[in-house]
Amino acid sequence: MNQKVIIFDTTLRDGEQALQASLSINKKIQIARALERLGVDIIEVGFPISSPGDYNSIKMIAKEIKDSKICSLARCLKGDIDIAAKAMKKSLNFRIHLFLGTSALHIQSKLKKSFSEIVEMMLNSIKYAKKYTNDIEFSCEDAGRTSLNNLCYIVEKAIQAGANTINIPDTVGYTIPTQFKNIIQTLFEKVPNIHKSIISVHCHNDLGMAVGNSISAIEAGARQIEGTINGLGERAGNTALEEIIMALEIHKNRLGVMTQIKHKEIYRTSKIISHLCNTPIAINKSIVGKNAFSHSSGIHQDGVLKNRENYEILNPIKIGVKNSQLNLTSRSGRAAIKYRMKEMGYLEHDYNLDILYIDFLKLADKKGQIFDYDLEALAFINQQQVKKEYFKLEYFHIESKLSGLATASIVLLCGTQINIQKSTTSNGPVDALYHALNKATLYSIILKKFHLEANGEGKDALGKVDIVVKYKTRNFHGIGLATDIIEASAQALINVFNDIWKSCQVGKQLGKLNK
């Protein structure tokens, strides 16, 4: 029979500590609601003694959250415990999380005490906290570097004092999975009252071992995992809960454990927290990264199209992602091209796959990534027309003032015609330039994304502008690269306009074919 693993989220406490700026109360409430909707068992909402802002946000969250249990962190000091309880008093069900350094390093160099004094502080604090709640968690800070004899002793005493959860943190990400597993196994073997408490683990990722250590702890008997969404946290971060949750789901038969997490909420929760915390997710991040379910290799694409399980151990729908993504690059094969054409509604007899694939490879080598409208242009327009750029920016001049008022003058070659335009806006030089270009082309577009990044350093650094534009019902992508960011911005939009023009030519061509 599967045993439950409790999911303890500390995004609002340990995760926030790693952010460049503190979260507003409103953002914290949004995150807490998202975690509750995800099905997180316990949400550590903050460290109330640390600041008035943290205290007030915990008070607000205590009123909001009903389905998840909330928890506040406190040192083994009466003042900390009083503030933690006061902040959460509006909650029907809360936990106080006490912590104290137990390694010789922490005891001697940080706390300046003896081990016996540490034990006494712990015992007094647990007994004191129990006047507010029966749900007490005690953390042996830096347990990964605590001697096993001392760790077993203090855990036994903490359980005797009334701690129902004992947390064994690898505070500095020091251990490796076999080492950490041995710590948990030793506790189960040598602590006589160990089964009166839930053993929890809180692993950091300094050596990239956080998830591995957490899984090894579950194998040894731990039944609570502490971590954060997207792995946010001090230094290299915490155990990424989305990775743990899905590892437990995929290996549930082997591990014999389960969680109450609503898996389809994982992706949405990850995106919400990434946005509110202003922490981008790496494209190759496990489970929630942009590339987690995308395939570029032709061999992989062919395998996935034949059977998803050939190259995916997890169905993206399981975590709330609509489907896998096949990136069309020069590494793609005929199978991916044929699949994309079919997805767009074209049958095999509508185009010549062999010719299309040869032209596709040539364009992919030049452009990098190919989109649906590129495929249509290659399939249904003469290749010479595809190579031809209909719009070409011959000249531009920008005048900009500190107030934001800017004027752009352009000379745009539209086929064989020259179009001269001028535009003034109060939103800066790029906006003025884009308005002038739009007036020249007469395409009714909506700018959905504008992203600027620097490639390189110093005066020779290249500004890369990546934009997404909506025209009618379709999105078009454009990239510009230049040492001048305004020139790079212009290139990106000109590339989009040329793709829109080609797409329009496809429509005309298909109209003729259909007749």
pLDDT tens digits for 111-166?
999 999 999 999 999 999 999 999 999 999 999 999 999 999 999 999 999 999 99
Residue 513 scores a pLDDT above 60 = no
Choice between 40 and 308, residue whose per-residue pLDDT is larger:
40
Most trustworthy range by pLDDT among 113-127, 355-369, 427-441: 113-127
Q: Is residue 449, in this structure, part of any structural domain at all?
A: yes
CB 376 within 8 A of CB 499: no
Residue 359 scores a pLDDT above 50 = yes
CA distance 300 to 332: 9
CA distance 166 to 159: 8
CA distance 130 to 60: 23
Q: Is residue 152, in this structure, part of any structural domain at all?
A: yes
- Do 118 and 159 lie in one domain? The reply is yes
For residue 234, give both structure tokens.
């001090």
- Do 225 and 138 lie in one domain? The reply is yes
Residue 1 scores a pLDDT above 50 = no
- Do 181 and 223 lie in one domain? The reply is yes
Burial (CB count <10 Å: 0-12, 13-18, 19+), residue 52: exposed
- Do 40 and 186 lie in one domain? The reply is yes
Residue-level pLDDT at 323: 66
CA distance 359 to 339: 17
The candidate with the shortest Cα–Cα distance to 494, out of 446, 433, 452, is 433
In the listed set 338, 353, 386, which residue is the last one of a domain according to the structure? 386
Per the structure, the complete domain to which residue 398 belongs is given by 390-492
- Do 244 and 329 lie in one domain? The reply is no
CA distance 10 to 232: 9
Choice between 247 and 281, residue whose per-residue pLDDT is larger:
247
Q: Is residue 512, in this structure, part of any structural domain at all?
A: no
What total number of domains does the chain contain? Answer: 3
Residue 101: C-alpha distances to residues 121, 140, 277, 359, 402 (Å): 11, 6, 29, 65, 54
Model confidence at 308, pLDDT cuts 50, 70, 90, reads low
CA distance 336 to 421: 42
Model confidence at 415, pLDDT cuts 50, 70, 90, reads confident
Query: Alpha-carbon torsion 308, 312, 314, 319, what sign?
Result: negative
- Do 342 and 394 lie in one domain? The reply is no
Q: Is residue 227, in this structure, part of any structural domain at all?
A: yes
Q: Write the DSSP symbol of residue 388.
A: S
Mean pLDDT of the chain: 88
- Do 34 and 173 lie in one domain? The reply is yes
Q: Write the DSSP symbol of residue 107.
A: I
pLDDT average, residue stretch 325-334: 76
Q: Is residue 331, in this structure, part of any structural domain at all?
A: yes
In the listed set 223, 249, 277, which residue is the last one of a domain according to the structure? 277
The runs of H, that is alpha helices, within 65-194 are 78-88, 104-105, 115-129, 148-161, 177-190
pLDDT average, residue stretch 337-361: 80
Model confidence at 515, pLDDT cuts 50, 70, 90, reads very low
> Tell me, what CATH number does 456's domain have?
3.30.160.270
Q: Is residue 119, in this structure, part of any structural domain at all?
A: yes
Residue-level pLDDT at 162: 97
Model confidence at 508, pLDDT cuts 50, 70, 90, reads confident
Residue-level pLDDT at 124: 97
Q: Is residue 289, in this structure, part of any structural domain at all?
A: no
In the listed set 386, 411, 434, which residue is the last one of a domain according to the structure? 386
- Do 381 and 419 lie in one domain? The reply is no
Model confidence at 509, pLDDT cuts 50, 70, 90, reads low
Judged by average pLDDT, the poorest of 349-353, 424-428, 438-442 is 349-353
- Do 161 and 299 lie in one domain? The reply is no
- Do 487 and 422 lie in one domain? The reply is yes
The candidate with the shortest Cα–Cα distance to 254, out of 220, 228, 219, 286, is 219
> Tell me, what CATH number does 111's domain have?
3.20.20.70
136-141 and 94-101: which strand pairing? Answer: parallel
- Do 428 and 358 lie in one domain? The reply is no
Q: Is residue 510, in this structure, part of any structural domain at all?
A: no
- Do 463 and 369 lie in one domain? The reply is no
Residue 349 scores a pLDDT above 80 = no
pLDDT average, residue stretch 208-225: 98
